[in-house]
Amino acid sequence: MCELLGMSANVPTDICFSFTGLMQRGGNTGPHRDGWGITFYEGKGFRTFKDPNPSCKSRIAELVQQYPIKSRAVVSHIRQANRGGVSLENTHPFTREVWGNYWTFAHNGQLTGYEQLVTGRNQAVGDTDSEIAFCWLMNQLEIRFPVLPEDMTPVFGYFAECCDTLRQLGVYNMLLSNGDYVLSYCTNNLHWITRRAPFGKASLIDEDVTIDFQRETTANDVVTVIATQPLTNDESWQKMVRGEFRVFHFGETVYHAVAADANAC
Amino acid sequence: MCELLGMSANVPTDICFSFTGLMQRGGNTGPHRDGWGITFYEGKGFRTFKDPNPSCKSRIAELVQQYPIKSRAVVSHIRQANRGGVSLENTHPFTREVWGNYWTFAHNGQLTGYEQLVTGRNQAVGDTDSEIAFCWLMNQLEIRFPVLPEDMTPVFGYFAECCDTLRQLGVYNMLLSNGDYVLSYCTNNLHWITRRAPFGKASLIDEDVTIDFQRETTANDVVTVIATQPLTNDESWQKMVRGEFRVFHFGETVYHAVAADANAC
């Protein structure tokens, strides 16, 4: 299994605090030794830092923890390899340009029968189930919506349907972003929390670090963090249910659906 | 104008020495203040570090200079903006997946009439002439070769033709790589040097740094560096001619062509 971390915010926000917690799970408080990656969007552009080495020992992870890159959309992942060897091309997140946007994807879980997924123009470079699922997902969307419509509601509806299909292949917990929206899908393990005024303090589970968000934010800030497991032990995280699809924009939920067959899974 | 830096080597090699020289031109010994980027391939995967801020002041550039990432193929760029604003999405290099490979591109020069280029499935995310030229180039190649043939000779021939077409639109100096091959094209400013045994010493033009390659290499290493202007003052760099297209693989030239109309340009 792997761990996911995402963020959606209405102002450029640094994710150093949450990232510090996550990185400890990469070989220290957790067994995720097989690489890590993080993508920060800034406008329509993005920066990805990744490393096939354990995050708790990575010099690049250290830079990311200390250097506060401010972003409104972040997707991050630490890996414990199951499908696909330990290599840079198999390290999440994966990015593809579709509709003139960069889409960035990370997956937690394991799929079977994924080799049959038709990925069309988007070919996988590595050999993970995750990258193939991502390429299939974007191919399905591009076929259905050759041009991105202004009203995203039907697009989100179709994203949710496609994620439901992938859940039939196994465990599919997902984060996906184009820098504007952060899309999340849960099979069994995904939590989120929205922080807004009045801000309080929070303490990391994985390291002895406490932050006072009051000092780091303004009264209008809305910041949602999404993670496989809660990262703090003194806040109330929302647990997503099986088959739940949730889209965040500027920190707020803008689309929400739960698969009709979710209870039957 | 911008500056390009590329490397092709037969063993994973760090580019810290050359990168140190290039980075000084980003706002210190040169006027290229509008961002920088570098892509390192490792296997089929890649890592890109980029920043829209001047390279001579960038904390991320500092990490890249000090942290020897070893690679057989590198593409780097520092920017002085002409077409397109200063932003992360307009910062080179640009990467797209085509034929199940990541292709990474950087351009030096300025084009006119580029808005007419048909980019097909590969849409530009930013608004530079460079990214549109790259998307057009990959679209042309994909239409001509829906599947990448085993023998790359006709593919390189067609790449050269397409680069000649782009040269008709203005100044087009280019570096392009899929991690295996490093392709270069010259309109007016591109130099290269191949270092092999017996290795000597070299001194950077832009900073007071000398390296003894003898101490850093083994007898079988072959390393080619390609740059807009020579980076060292005590070695013989080859100047490429107008309309020249050259492909490097493991440090050696494996394809070479000069446009028939080159003298007429």
Could you read off the pLDDT of B208-234 as tens digits, one per residue? 778 888 888 889 999 999 999 999 988
Q: How confident is the model at residue A61 (pLDDT cuts 50, 70, 90)?
A: confident
Q: How confident is the model at residue A27 (pLDDT cuts 50, 70, 90)?
A: low
Give the separation between CA B192 and CA A193, rounded to whole angstroms. 53
Residue B188, pLDDT > 80, answer yes
* Token pair in block for residue B51: 């920043």
Strands (E), chain B: 3-14, 36-42, 45-51, 70-78, 94-98, 101-108, 173-177, 181-186, 191-195, 201-203, 210-212, 223-227, 238-239, 244-249, 252-258
Q: What is the pLDDT of residue B80?
A: 79
Q: How much is the average pLDDT of B125-150?
A: 96
CATH number for the domain including B182?
3.60.20.10
Domain that holds residue B184: 26-190+240-264
Question: Using the beta-carbon criterion (under 8 Å), do A125 and B45 form an inter-chain contact?
Answer: yes
Residues of B serving a catalytic function are 2
In chain A, the N- to C-terminal Cα span, in Å, equals: 20
Q: Give the tens place of pLDDT for each residue, B236-258.
A: 999 999 999 999 999 999 999 99
φ, ψ (nearest 5 deg) of residue A198:
-75, 125
Q: What is the pLDDT of residue B30?
A: 67
**Shortest CA gap B44–chain A (Å):** 6
* Token pair in block for residue B46: 């890649």
Q: Give the tens place of pLDDT for each residue, B114-131.
A: 999 999 989 999 999 999
Q: Give the tens place of pLDDT for each residue, B45-72.
A: 999 999 888 777 788 888 888 888 899 9
In a domain, A188, yes or no: no
* Token pair in block for residue B148: 């990448």
Contacts 24+ apart (CB under 8 A), B114-120: B114/B83, B114/B169
In chain B, the N- to C-terminal Cα span, in Å, equals: 20
Sign of torsion, CA B178 A138 B145 A128? positive
In a domain, B224, yes or no: no
Q: Give the tens place of pLDDT for each residue, A71-80.
A: 999 999 988 7
Neighbours of B87 (CB within 10 A): 18
For chain A, say whether B146 makes contact (Cβ under 8 Å): no
Instruction: Name the helix (H) or strand (E) containing A258.
Output: strand A252-258
Q: What is the pLDDT of residue A207?
A: 80
Give the separation between CA B122 and CA A49, rounded to whole angstroms. 24
| Site of tokens 């392009």 | B176
Residue A42, pLDDT > 90, answer yes
For chain B, say whether A101 makes contact (Cβ under 8 Å): yes
Question: Using the beta-carbon criterion (under 8 Å), do A123 and B97 form an inter-chain contact?
Answer: yes
Q: Give the tens place of pLDDT for each residue, A140-195.
A: 999 999 998 999 999 999 999 999 999 999 999 999 999 999 999 999 999 999 99
Question: Using the beta-carbon criterion (under 8 Å), do B89 and A44 form an inter-chain contact?
Answer: yes
Residue of A nearest to B126 (CA): A44
Question: Using the beta-carbon criterion (under 8 Å), do A45 and B91 form an inter-chain contact?
Answer: yes
Longest dimension (CA), chain B: 51
In a domain, A243, yes or no: no
Give the separation between CA A61 and CA A19, rounded to whole angstroms. 9
Residue with the larger pLDDT of the pair A33 and A200: A200
Q: Are B44 and A126 in contact (CB under 8 A)?
A: yes
Residue B33, pLDDT > 80, answer no
Of A31-45, A85-99, A237-251, the one with minimum mean pLDDT is A31-45
Q: What is the pLDDT of residue A264?
A: 45
Residue B162, pLDDT > 50, answer yes
| Site of tokens 């580019």 | B15
Q: What is the pLDDT of residue A83?
A: 78
What percentage of chain B has pLDDT greater than the value 70?
96
Q: How many Cα atoms sit within 13 Å of B5 on the Cβ side?
A: 24
φ, ψ (nearest 5 deg) of residue B232:
-120, 155
Which of helix, strand or coil describes residue B124? coil
Q: What is the pLDDT of residue B52?
A: 86
- Identify whether A265 is a catalytic site residue: no
For chain B, say whether A102 makes contact (Cβ under 8 Å): yes
Give the separation between CA A181 and CA A247, rounded to whole angstroms. 7
In a domain, A215, yes or no: yes
Residue B170, pLDDT > 50, answer yes
The rounded mean pLDDT for chain B is 91
Of A6-15, A64-73, A125-134, A181-190, the one with minimum mean pLDDT is A64-73
For chain A, say whether B159 makes contact (Cβ under 8 Å): no
Question: Using the beta-carbon criterion (under 8 Å), do B124 and A90 form an inter-chain contact?
Answer: no
Q: Are B204 and B20 in contact (CB under 8 A)?
A: yes
Q: What is the pLDDT of residue B264?
A: 45
Work out how many domains chain A is built from and give that number: 1
Q: How much is the average pLDDT of B88-92?
A: 94
For chain B, say whether A143 makes contact (Cβ under 8 Å): no
For chain B, say whether A239 makes contact (Cβ under 8 Å): no
In a domain, B86, yes or no: yes
In a domain, A142, yes or no: yes
Q: What is the pLDDT of residue B24?
A: 79
In a domain, B130, yes or no: yes
Give the separation between CA A34 and CA B146, rounded to whole angstroms. 34
Contacts 24+ apart (CB under 8 A), A149-158: A152/A181, A152/A255, A153/A255, A156/A183, A156/A245, A156/A247, A156/A255, A156/A257, A157/A257
Question: Using the beta-carbon criterion (under 8 Å), do A121 and B121 form an inter-chain contact?
Answer: yes
List C-alpha distances in Å: B169 to B114, B129, B178: 7, 10, 25
In a domain, B249, yes or no: yes
Q: Which residues of A are less than 8 Å from B102 in CB distance?
A: 125
DSSP string, B80-123: --SSS-SSGGGSSPEEEEETTEEEEEEEES-BSSGGG---TT--
Q: How much is the average pLDDT of B171-192?
A: 97
List C-alpha distances in Å: A125 to A33, A74, A119: 21, 22, 12
Q: What is the pLDDT of residue A67?
A: 80
CA A73 from centroid of its chain's CA atoms: 10
| Site of tokens 């067609």 | B158
Residue A265, pLDDT > 50, answer no
* Token pair in block for residue B196: 């092999």
Residue B100, pLDDT > 70, answer yes
CA B104 from centroid of its chain's CA atoms: 8
Q: Are B228 and B4 in contact (CB under 8 A)?
A: yes
Residue of B nearest to A147 (CA): B121
Which of B63, B67, B97 has its CB closest to that of A122?
Answer: B97
List C-alpha distances in Å: B229 to A125, B62, B66, B264: 34, 22, 23, 24
Q: How much is the average pLDDT of A121-138?
A: 96
* Token pair in block for residue A135: 């390429």
Q: What is the pLDDT of residue B265?
A: 42
φ, ψ (nearest 5 deg) of residue B165:
-60, -45
DSSP string, A57-71: G-HHHHHHHHS--EE
